[in-house]
């Protein structure tokens, strides 16, 4: 049976306010440095979200989860301080938690409802990956911090948005920085309902309490089966590989304190044969033929 007792993790994350009702519905409100401020996205948020999603998934008293923002925006401001100057700094500040964040969100084994209370232009995937996504009439959706910011798409957005919008619409959305308003997001299937701001949270809680009243095993394992495919594709391709390659390439070229990478060894006959096979779309050539001089 769910309990309203407050676990320690409710107060453990400086940028998240949590509360749970008698039905076992956990309300997760993302905020800024102060609890009444909208999110100004920073490294602290990355760290907090990663840890909080893990703690939420481990707590079996949670029967459903509602995620929302604070004030008039979901996540629409950046507050990162200073530029990262090395791959090591990037790995510590972004990649380490980034690789785990979506995985831990999807590890929450109870229904998750998002109440998008305003613009979601940064980390909008946190909302649209929910089982039910509700949007205020004031909500907008965009991927602002990647291509528009000169960064290769990461955080799983290249998977999430092409899945939601389709390949061509998804690529256009990411490459152009397109902004979807709430009605367009509803038409395209990104969100499930659009409501006036004053009705949004009540409607989200209504959905959550209905789902929390299900048999716990039904609710839990329905969430598991509905996210199985998503958890595989989104977390394995969470976007960290491509930025890492970019950083690694930069480190090899840049003179300074970072040691140059050892030159790659010449490809062996098997690798050369495989490359040619891929180009001509036929079965791999026997590597022995390369050594014998037969084309």
* Concatenated DSSP letters of 142-208: ---SSGGGT----TTHHHHHHHHH-HHHHHHHHHHT--EEHHHHHHTTS-SEEE-HHHHHHHHHHHH
Q: Please report how many Cα atoms fall inside a 13 Å half-sphere around the Cα of residue 189, on the Cβ side.
A: 9
Question: DSSP readout, 20-75?
Answer: E-TT-EEEEEE--SSTTSPPEE-HHHHHHHHHHHHHHHH-TT--EEEEE-BTTBSB
Residues 77, 140: Cα–Cα separation, whole Å: 13
Q: Is 47 a catalytic residue?
A: no
Beta-carbon contacts of 281 under 8 Å, excluding residues fewer than 6 positions away, are none
Catalytic residue among 47, 89, 125, 262: 125
- With contact defined as beta carbons under 8 Å apart, do 177 and 148 qualify? yes
User: How many C-beta atoms surround the C-beta of residue 188 within 10 A?
Assistant: 15
For residue 261, count other CB atoms closer than 10 A to its CB: 11
The residues assigned a catalytic role are: 125
């Amino acid at each position: 049976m769910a309990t309203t007792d407050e676990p320690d993790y409710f107060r453990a994350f400086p940028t998240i306010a949590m509360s749970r009702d008698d039905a076992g519905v956990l309300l997760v409100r993302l905020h800024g440095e102060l609890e009444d401020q909208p999110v100004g996205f920073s490294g602290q948020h990355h760290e907090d979200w990663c840890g909080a999603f893990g703690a939420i998934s481990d707590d079996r008293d949670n029967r459903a989860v509602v995620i929302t923002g604070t004030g008039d925006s979901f996540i629409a401001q950046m507050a990162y301080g200073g530029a990262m100057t090395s791959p090591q700094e990037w790995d510590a500040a972004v990649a380490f938690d980034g690789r785990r964040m979506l995985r831990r969100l999807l590890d929450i084994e109870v229904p998750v409802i998002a109440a998008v209370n305003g613009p979601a232009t940064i980390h909008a995937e946190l909302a649209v990956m929910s089982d039910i996504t509700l949007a205020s009439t004031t909500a907008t959706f965009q991927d602002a911090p990647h291509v528009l910011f000169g960064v290769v798409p990461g955080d799983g957005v290249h998977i999430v948005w092409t899945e939601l919008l389709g390949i061509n619409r998804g690529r256009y959305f990411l490459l152009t920085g397109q902004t979807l308003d709430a009605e367009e997001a509803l038409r395209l299937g990104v969100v499930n309902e659009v409501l006036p701001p004053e009705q949004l949270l009540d409607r989200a809680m209504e959905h959550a309490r209905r789902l929390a009243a299900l048999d716990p095993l039904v609710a839990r394992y329905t969430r598991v089966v509905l996210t199985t495919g998503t958890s595989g594709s989104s977390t394995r391709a969470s976007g960290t590989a491509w930025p890492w390659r970019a950083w690694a390439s930069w480190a090899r070229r840049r003179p300074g304190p970072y040691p140059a990478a050892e030159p790659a060894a010449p490809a062996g006959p098997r690798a050369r044969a495989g490359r040619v096979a891929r180009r001509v779309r036929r079965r791999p050539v026997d590597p022995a033929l390369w050594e014998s001089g037969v084309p």
